[in-house]
Amino acid sequence: FIQAVGADFDIWKDAHVKGDVMDVLVPEQYLSRTSNALRSRNVAFDVMVEDVQALIDETTPKNTEYTSYADFDYNNYHTFDEHQAWQADFAAENSDIVNVVNYGTSLEGRPLNTMVIGNGSRKMILHGGTHSREWINPIEMINFSKQLGKSTL
């Protein structure tokens, strides 16, 4: 069927046996042609998501520009540079227990840092936010660190 429509579709779930369902992302320009091809072959189909881009936009974390440690939005996506700025500001705010330690650079020349939190033999090392499109790990590290900082002690 896909060959009959003449498009290179994104297959989300392939059919493995006869009668199995298949999930396919159909680009907007092929909607009419695809539905006509399915109907002409008596293939039942359902539209699971009307507008995939709208769903992506709705569920993708929003980027907010970093202005200062005090105004940091802990519920949104931040860039690598914003994470670096937050780390530096957090360490300055909590200089009695926090150090940012650089342990090298990435292939792109970005600094690779850890935050060392604690004093004496009681220290923890936190690291996160150096991989592309990584946003859960860095914000989790930031939220955890914030709980250890002066503002919540």
- pLDDT band at residue 153 using 50, 70 and 90 as cut-offs: very low
Q: How confident is the model at residue 152 (pLDDT cuts 50, 70, 90)?
A: very low
pLDDT tier, 68 (very low <50, low <70, confident <90, very high otherwise):
confident
Reduced to 3 states (helix: H, G, I; strand: E, B; else coil), residue 80 is: helix
Beta-strand runs (E) in the chain: 10-13, 23-25, 98-105, 111-119, 122-126
Confidence (pLDDT) at 101: 93
What is the per-residue pLDDT across 94-135, written as a single tens digit (0 to 9) for each? 999 999 999 999 888 888 889 999 888 888 888 877 766 666
pTM value is 0.56
Q: CA dist 124 to 5, 43, 99, 127, 141, Å?
A: 57, 58, 11, 10, 12
3-state secondary structure of 93: helix
